[in-house]
Structure 1
Amino acid sequence: MTTLGEIKVEIPGRKEGDPVMTQEEYQTGTKIYFERCAGCHGVLRKGATGKPLTTDITRGLGYDHLHSFITYGSPAGMPNWGTSGELTEDQVDLMARYLLLTPPAPPEFGMPEMLASWKVIVKPEDRPTQKMNDIDIDNLFSTTLRDAGQVALIDGGTYEIKAVIDTGYAVHISRISASGRYLFVIGRDAKIVMIDLWMEKPGPVAEIKIGAEARSIETSKFEGWEDKYAIAGAYWPPQYVIMDGDTLEPKKIVSTRGNIYDEQVYHPEPRVAAILASHYKPEFIVNVKET
């Protein structure tokens, strides 16, 4: 499993009046939804930045409304997937039908799955004890090459590309460690890659997946705790993970599911967004969107 779009799913129990959709079409719709829609509307379609798309809403709107909305978008921020050419006419038709069906519930991703994905490529004791290159790491850009699943390390003074490193699907952000030695990269597939900038040619020294979809990674910055811990947050499952700062070994998983602060109703998908390390206390600040 790499992304939510590649998880094999079954169509939930059909109801009378449901649109006709084959298992293959449903799988394709799930993949398109993950790649294009889940970031705004939520994995379970309960809404996030974008409005909810649960079947009690979509069936009230109907196929024609959904087809037009997907095609033309809206001034409120919905992309015009059809007229822009991002989706074909057949894909727009498929997605309008897909939204009339109940979404699949993706599997959980706990400690066994994380440990199975965890790799220490170069052990800490086998890494350089001093910087082995002439890269100015105090003036270095980690540039996201999103569609290629890579980052480019670019010298901030000369704009020379020092390295291009494979990381994961749809790279989202890079975070530098407190010491400046390590670069942590996370993609939408929730894969984290830890890059050692002291190596003769910077490259990965550890990696792990912490879920099926994610956006955030950070490392400890407070004096005395520099580089000791890393933390990453997932959209799915809704959780954050504390890891060893040298190896990415997962230490603790914390679920963010709970009640919304104002209405005090349970939310199954509170997404972890930005995470910041405090410079004033040994703390992380975790932004949980829906609660």
Structure 2
Amino acid sequence: MRPLPAALSLAIAAVLLACAAPSTARADGPNPERLFAEHCAACHGGDRLGAIGPALLPENLGRLKPAEAERIIRHGRPATQMPGFPVETLSDEAVRVLAAYVFTPLPEVPAWGMEEIAASRVVHKAPATLPEKPRHGADPLNLFTVVEAGDHHVSIVDGDSFTVLDRFESRFALHGGAKYSPDGRFVYLASRDGWVSKYDLHSLSLVAEVRAGVNTRNVAVSSDGRFLMVGNTLPHTLVALDAWDLTPIKVIPVTDGKGKSSRVSAVYSMPPRKSFVAALKDLQEVWELPWDDRPVYAGLVHSHEPGREEAVSVPGPFPVRKLKVNEFVDDFFFDQPYDQLMATSRDGKKGIVVHIDVGRQIAELDLPGMPHLGSGINFVHEGRPVMATPHFKDPVISVIDTVDWKTVKRIPMPGPGFFLRGHENTPYAWADAYMGKDRDTIPIIDTRSLEIVHTLRPAPGKLTAHVEFTRDGRYALVSVMEDEGAIVVYDAATFTEVNRLPMRKPIGKYNVWNKINFSSGTSH
């Protein structure tokens, strides 16, 4: 029987406390450890690392504010097993103390190694028992995986009929980016709480789950379909999994070799190089980890300081090649050939370019205003390959030439944005104003003129963002990111609405074909 998913025990922080039945005795003291042990530990673990409920650590609470945490403790969370604690059980002071406690970092980074990971693994269906062909009539390569954060569910949507084929409970606070096996059959989902789930799109059923960390950033899939690499912020590790049944293969500590460790900002695959690439938040390094069974990597580690090179020979599997850079990297983006990456720090005022073959930083980018490179896109403008990225702080889209790394243009937007999407079969790029007052708008940019040519308001007054195209690029799906939200389907050529599917805060949706073919217009 499947353990109750963390999602059932709250929603974004219904994290905040306890599935344990409310005590009838009034809490008369403000001691946070005692309050937590009495009211919360049964579901969230005595160490706050999670059990049937999610971990209650500041890293796992996302954008939750203390005031909202107090409200959830007092009133609970509808449609979850998170109960409310009336004043007869917890005084106002006790609620404040508990809310402050779960926002307090642990005194040390928790251990979560091979033993803990292996013990957490749950197999729901033996992979060998799965059907050879889909048990539904939809095009298996034109499906969408939709992450619904409102009630912690995932929906599988047919990209031709725009109907929901399946809807299932997810782990707590999934990372928006679903990843697929190279043939498009399996989807892999990573939660903030460290759970990695494998779901079969042929039988529409969950296959296996494993907890690869306490707090996870994201997961990447090797292009041969054999391996997953999980990037964690707690503990500071990369974890390699067997993609077949999620058996752990290796835990890789993320350190500089001198005692300093780092959170992983992101990990992606680089198919042409048969390797994973990880960005590090606390070390000025980018790591490359090959998966092609080379037992040893022997070569040079290049420093950004001229003349400083260090020979290395690291035993496999997944030997680490460390590339020194000038910035702490929060986010990055690949050019379309996948031999160079653009990177940026959220606190920095510029971007950098790292050439993976050369093994070092080769250029700087004029990218102030916290660009969101993870949502960038590639396209050709006037015969030149370019990339475009939104910015968290500035109301612009920056367009960068990926040959000379010069800024081609900054396109004025109605507000700072979060996502940008395109497709090979359309000349238009769809953006948003996620961070601005006009957060209900979807500006559409003509990639030929680099001008906004149309603006949509799918749900006036409601947050609207994140576009994904169907396999052929004929339709664009837009998220109304409210608890009572929707997926709105538009004709990508005429910008007219053709369908609307009710959803619970759909924070992301991912088309199988576009993802497995590394479309230039979508995130990877």
Length-normalised TM-score, structure 2: 0.38
> How far is 1:114 from its partner?
1.3
Q: Give the residue type in structure 1 aligned to 2:239.
A: V
Q: Give the residue type in structure 2 aligned to 1:213.
A: N
2:172 is matched with 169
Q: 1:85 to 1:23 in 2, by over 3 A?
A: closer
1:37 is matched with 58
Which of 182, 206, 209 is the matching residue for 1:204? Answer: 206
Which whole-Å CA distance do the structure 1 matches of 2:112 and 2:16 have between them?
15
Which whole-Å CA distance do the structure 1 matches of 2:215 and 2:163 have between them?
32
Larger relative strand fraction:
2
SS at match of 1:113: helix
SS at match of 2:271: coil
Which of 185, 189, 204 is the matching residue for 1:185? Answer: 189
Q: Give the residue type in structure 2 aligned to 1:119.
A: V
Residues matched between the structures, number? 232
Which whole-Å CA distance do the structure 2 matches of 1:24 and 1:191 have between them?
28
2:420 is matched with none
Deviates more, 1:175-184 or 1:164-173: 164-173
> How far is 1:208 from its partner?
0.9
Which whole-Å CA distance do the structure 2 matches of 1:249 and 1:96 have between them?
36
**Corresponding position: 1:145 with 2:148:** yes
Which of 8, 24, 28 is the matching residue for 2:34? Answer: 24
Q: Assess if the C-alpha contact under 8 Å between 1:124 and 1:247 holds in 2.
A: yes
The Cα offsets for residues 146-175 of structure 1, whole Å up to 9 and x where unpaired, read as 253321112233331111122311112321
Q: Give the residue type in structure 1 aligned to 2:263.
A: R
Which whole-Å CA distance do the structure 2 matches of 1:24 and 1:149 have between them?
30
SS at match of 1:172: coil
Q: Assess if the C-alpha contact under 8 Å between 1:81 and 1:87 holds in 2.
A: no
What is the 5 A alignment of 1:55-94? Answer: 81=67, 90=93, 93-94=96-97
Which of 257, 272, 290 is the matching residue for 2:282? Answer: 290
Bigger Rg, structure 1 or 2 = 2
> How far is 1:278 from its partner?
1.0
> How far is 1:216 from its partner?
0.8
Which of 229, 232, 251 is the matching residue for 1:231? Answer: 229
**Corresponding position: 1:117 with 2:120:** yes
Q: Structure 1 vs Structure 2: percent identity of aligned residues?
A: 20
Q: 1:25 to 1:257 in 2, by over 3 A?
A: farther
2:299 is matched with none
Q: Assess if the C-alpha contact under 8 Å between 1:211 and 1:237 holds in 2.
A: yes
Q: 1:139 to 1:36 in 2, by over 3 A?
A: farther
The Cα offsets for residues 116-142 of structure 1, whole Å up to 9 and x where unpaired, read as 122333223222222332122322221
Larger relative helix fraction:
1
1:136 is matched with 139
Q: 1:165 to 1:282 in 2, by over 3 A?
A: same
Q: Assess if the C-alpha contact under 8 Å between 1:218 and 1:276 holds in 2.
A: yes
Which whole-Å CA distance do the structure 2 matches of 1:183 and 1:129 have between them?
16
What is the 5 A alignment of 1:233-248? Answer: 233-248=231-246
Which whole-Å CA distance do the structure 1 matches of 2:124 and 2:103 have between them?
45
What is the 5 A alignment of 1:237-276? Answer: 237-258=235-256, 266-267=260-261, 270-276=262-268
Q: Which structure has more RCO (C-alpha within 8 Å, separation ≥ 6)?
A: 1
Which whole-Å CA distance do the structure 2 matches of 1:275 and 1:100 have between them?
26
Q: 1:91 to 1:276 in 2, by over 3 A?
A: farther
Q: Give the residue type in structure 2 aligned to 1:248.
A: L
Q: Give the residue type in structure 2 aligned to 1:266.
A: K
SS at match of 1:116: helix
SS at match of 1:280: helix
Which of 170, 188, 199 is the matching residue for 1:195? Answer: 199
1:107 is matched with 110
SS at match of 1:205: strand
> How far is 1:101 from its partner?
7.5
Length-normalised TM-score, structure 1: 0.65
1:71 is matched with none
Q: Give the residue type in structure 2 aligned to 1:272.
A: V
> How far is 1:102 from its partner?
7.4
Which whole-Å CA distance do the structure 1 matches of 2:226 and 2:181 have between them?
10
SS at match of 2:175: strand
SS at match of 2:250: strand
The Cα offsets for residues 93-112 of structure 1, whole Å up to 9 and x where unpaired, read as 42786499774435311111
Q: Give the residue type in structure 2 aligned to 1:143.
A: V
Deviates more, 1:244-253 or 1:145-154: 145-154
Which whole-Å CA distance do the structure 2 matches of 1:6 and 1:105 have between them?
21
Unaligned runs of 5+ in 1: 8-19, 42-76
Unaligned runs of 5+ in 2: 7-12, 18-29, 42-47, 75-91, 284-524
Q: 1:160 to 1:90 in 2, by over 3 A?
A: farther
Which whole-Å CA distance do the structure 2 matches of 1:150 and 1:6 have between them?
19
